[in-house]
Amino acid sequence: MSTYGWILMGTVLFPVLFSFEKRVAYYRRWVPAIGAAVIVALPFLAWDALAAFHGDWWFAPEHTLGLSWLDLPLEEYLFFIAVPFSCTFVHAVIQRSVAARVRERR
């Protein structure tokens, strides 16, 4: 696995594992969360591809799998799914935690 792949794996490991914790049950929101991430990722991927095409930045081949499309490695596409997925998981956990504390104080 590539360096970038390991970083992505680390990004989603705990959200995926803890998605099945009964108080959060985030696994029920996987489809909408990933769908929303894909919709939001499209303009960012276009911008990212344009910047890579113009040479504003690049991706070191020794840190990626070597599979690319439009000058973007596979890992860059996965980044735009993995990071929003993990962020919305953290948001869901914080929401549940705050809601539980509010209920305790009543």
Helix (H) or strand (E) holding 68: strand 68-69
- Report yes or no: 65 and 5 within 8 Å, Cβ to Cβ: yes
> Mean pLDDT over all residues of the chain?
90
User: Residue 49 pLDDT more than 90?
Assistant: yes
Q: At what angle do helices 30-53 and 74-105 cross, to 10 degrees?
A: 140
Rounded mean pLDDT, 52-81: 92
pTM of the predicted structure, to 2 decimals: 0.82
Q: Residues of the chain with pLDDT > 70: what percent?
A: 100
Domain boundaries, the chain: 3-105
Helices (H) and strands (E) in the chain, counts: 3, 2
User: Residue 76 pLDDT more than 80?
Assistant: yes
Residue 44, pLDDT score: 94
Residue 103, pLDDT score: 77
